[in-house]
Amino acid sequence: MKGIIFNLLEERVEHEGGPAAWDGLLESAEVDGGYSAIGDYPTTELVSLVGARARALDCTEADAVRDFGHGALLSLAEKFPAFFTPHTTTRDFLLTLNDVIHPQVRKLHACARPPEFDFTVIGDDRLRMVYRSERQLCGMAEGMVAGAATHFGQSVEIVQEECVLTGADACVLDCTFRDRDDRAEVGR
């Protein structure tokens, strides 16, 4: 997993609790830290960090992963606005993942293995996403969809119809978007 993902988690933790909070999280997760944005690190380290964060926040690991995905997407929108500004809706942005965003990631980081998505558009306000990744971080994908909705001023209801964590071949997310406030709801 690319170090930029770890950097996003570090930024979030330090924003909420300062550098000491990040050091404490590293200690609790029993990992060394020191992640370079372009480095490659075991997914197990991210899982350990998110697990430690869940314990610190007194929430489930699934909730901590979704929360991290939400915040990570918002940070990415700030860092890389060119990927977001051409779009006015969450759905339109998400449809660019395979054809625009992930190819750019691979250009910058040849060994990157971003997730793959299959999409079925179901009207103007609904999108069915099939998520495939060896990392099995579907909760992070859910959180990132919710973060994108927040960025675009929409709300989203996500129903995960199938999940690799329960034996399915892929995760299937049914996403319904609404132009209301900036609250995003994630459901299972």
Instruction: Look at residue 185 and tell me if it is in a domain.
Output: no
- Looking at the structure, do residues 54 and 93 belong to the same domain, yes or no? no
C-alpha–C-alpha distance, residues 14 and 37, integer Å: 16
C-alpha–C-alpha distance, residues 126 and 167, integer Å: 25
Instruction: Look at residue 125 and tell me if it is in a domain.
Output: yes
pLDDT digits (tens, 9 = 90+) for 5-54: 899 999 999 999 988 999 999 999 999 888 988 888 888 999 999 999 99
User: Of 138 and 151, which is predicted with more confidence?
Assistant: 151
Total structural domains in the chain? Answer: 2
In the structure encoding, which two tokens stand for residue 96, read together?
């660019």
Instruction: Look at residue 26 and tell me if it is in a domain.
Output: yes
pLDDT digits (tens, 9 = 90+) for 79-102: 889 889 999 999 999 998 877 555
Instruction: Look at residue 73 and tell me if it is in a domain.
Output: no
pLDDT of residue 63: 93
Instruction: Look at residue 80 and tell me if it is in a domain.
Output: no
pLDDT reading at 184 higher than 60: no
Structural domain that includes position 11? 3-58
Q: Give CA 122 to chain center in angstroms.
A: 23
Mean pLDDT for 65-82 is 92
Instruction: Look at residue 17 and tell me if it is in a domain.
Output: yes
What's the predicted TM-score (pTM) here?
0.85
In the structure encoding, which two tokens stand for residue 113, read together?
């293995």
Residues 6 or more apart whose CB falls under 8 angstroms from that of 8 comprise: 68, 71, 72, 75, 76
In the structure encoding, which two tokens stand for residue 185, read together?
């709801």
